[in-house]
Amino acid sequence: MNNELGKIVISRPGQKEPLVAFQRGMQEAESGQGKPGSPEALLHEDTKPFFDVVTIDEAVRIVRSIAKQTGTETIIIDDAEGRVLAESIITNEDIPGFDRSWKDGYAVIAQETYAASESAPVILSLHGSVSMGKSEKGHISPGECMYIPTGGQMPDGADAVVMIEYAEQAGDKVIIRQPVVVRENVIAKDEDFSAGTVIYPAGSTLRPQDIGVLAAIGKTRISVRKFPRIAIVSTGVELVPSEAIPRIGEVREVNSHLISVFLRRQGATPVRYGIIRDNMEELVRTIQTASQECDAVIVSGGSSKDRNDITFRAIASLGKVFVHGISIAPGKPTIIGQCDDVPVIGLPGHPVSTFMVMTLVAVHLIQAMKGSPCQHIYKKTIKMATDLKSEGGREQYIRVKIENDEATPVLGKSGLLNTLLYSDGIIHLPSGKEGLIKGEEVEVRLW
């Protein structure tokens, strides 16, 4: 532990001087509330609710700055959807590699069709047809054409394709009723990709369509970032397992399930460490163990604005605290710190607040650990269905439901799960904005 006599320090990554440092008196340390520097001593600190509240942007910057990238592994592309590239993908050849038709029709010399029209068609001699999958090129001379299917290799001498809809075969002659220009209906040999092109930079997250591109350039094995292992620790004396029947005063533990599925969706591996019932020593031991076994730690609950904020004290006793409060609602009592250079995030206990902070902050930690510069965020711009007044003075992220292509606020207390059930996403109200009016366009970040 690095906090002698219960000193609590908040700093920023890479910053030498602390932003806040609180030192308990020696007499308090000896008052029977725990040994100096012990978890019990930190537990009994009388500290103000939040030492240092930051904006969402600052919280994101901090989690990205403390993220340590995971290792790499080589996989086949069939298993690569959603994975993050650890290498840049460069094509070694032109794609498609030969001039080809992208329409069924007739390969021609474009200049010979310039005078063609419905009333005065051009007549060319048919010189066979292009065979698919053959390396040998055909050849046409002036006054000739060849039938060519979609994807067929352009014969030597031809520089355009007349679509079959504008031509008619009559024996060994072809009647052309519409002119074409050079390269019309032709895909050049390097039009898709030319040799040496960086198709995907390192850090790209692969989608299903990207797998098809990789197959097309012959890249069937790729180097990707390993899934980060994220520890999940749930805290709360009132918590019981979700399969249990809670007694009065108890609640089912929700957040570890919510966080686990969220992590998998973002390409991380959740590792659960069970429920800690507000026991400081046990929480410290669990965080310490989890930080040795995983790439990051998420503590759910135990983060609040009162003296029971044991998550803050546990993280402070083990390492560094960078953030103690984020200026959003819900989700203000969020902690960001490190234990042995392993990122640790302390989340509020309410599932709605947890989900908001995971969506707005923790996701950036995961992406940075995978070496991804950004994440794919699905957004939709629509109009407000009603007026919405801002609380003022702080950023707000309001849950909304989309109906009839309009956004309706889903208001409710942060502890109510139905606000997640009935919402489709969130809208952002900056701290300086007074509110929104009916009909005003807003950007909805979809869940």
Q: DSSP characters for 328-380?
A: -SS--S-EEEEETTEEEEEE-SSHHHHHHHIIIIIHHHHHHHTT-S-----EE
Question: At 274, is the secondary structure helix, strand, or coil?
Answer: strand
User: Is residue 27 within a helix (H) or strand (E), and if so which, with residue range?
Assistant: helix 26-29
Residue 93 has pLDDT above 90, yes or no: yes
Residue 152 has pLDDT above 50, yes or no: yes
Residue 220 has pLDDT above 90, yes or no: yes
Structure confidence at residue 36 as a pLDDT band (50, 70, 90):
very low
Q: What is the DSSP string of 227-270?
A: PPEEEEEEE-TTEE-TTS-PPTT-EE--HHHHHHHHHHHTT-EE
For the beta carbon of residue 5, count every other beta carbon within 10 angstroms.
15
Domain segments of the chain as ranges: 47-69+227-369, 72-95+192-225, 100-187, 379-446
Q: What is the DSSP string of 366-435?
A: HHHHTT-S-----EEEEEESS-EE---SS-EEEEEEEETTEEEE----TT-THHHHT--EEEEE-TT--E
Mean pLDDT taken over the chain: 85
Contact between residue 385 and residue 437 where contact means Cβ atoms under 8 Å apart? no
Distance in angstroms (rounded) separating the CA atoms of residues 214 and 74: 14
pLDDT digits (tens, 9 = 90+) for 364-393: 999 999 988 755 567 788 899 998 887 766
CATH architecture of 379-446: Beta Barrel (2.40)
Only one residue has tokens 């009603």, namely 386
Strands 186-187, 100-101: pairing kind: antiparallel
Structure confidence at residue 434 as a pLDDT band (50, 70, 90):
confident
Q: Which two tokens stand for residue 129?
A: 């047809």
Residue 371 backbone class (left: φ over 0; alpha: ψ -120 to 50; beta: rest): left
pLDDT value at position 25?
A: 33
- Whether the link from the prior residue into 121 is cis, omega within 30° of 0, is no
Distance in angstroms (rounded) separating the CA atoms of residues 100 and 104: 11
pLDDT value at position 4?
A: 37
Distance in angstroms (rounded) separating the CA atoms of residues 251 and 416: 13
Question: 413 phi and psi, to 5 degrees?
Answer: -65, 145
Distance in angstroms (rounded) separating the CA atoms of residues 245 and 359: 30
In CATH terms, 100-187 corresponds, of 2.170.190.11, 3.40.50.720, 1.10.240.10, 3.90.470.20, to 2.170.190.11
Distance in angstroms (rounded) separating the CA atoms of residues 282 and 12: 27
Distance in angstroms (rounded) separating the CA atoms of residues 259 and 353: 12
CATH class given for the domain over 47-69+227-369: alpha beta
* Span of 32-36, 56-60, 115-119, 294-298 with lowest mean pLDDT: 32-36
pLDDT digits (tens, 9 = 90+) for 302-331: 655 544 578 888 999 999 999 988 887 777
* Span of 146-150, 157-161, 286-290, 312-316 with lowest mean pLDDT: 312-316
Contact between residue 199 and residue 225 where contact means Cβ atoms under 8 Å apart? no
Question: 371 phi and psi, to 5 degrees?
Answer: 75, 20
Contact between residue 208 and residue 276 where contact means Cβ atoms under 8 Å apart? no
**The domain 72-95+192-225: what is its CATH number?**
3.90.105.10
Instruction: Give the torsion through C-alpha atoms of 373, 378, 381, 386, to 10 deg.
Output: -120
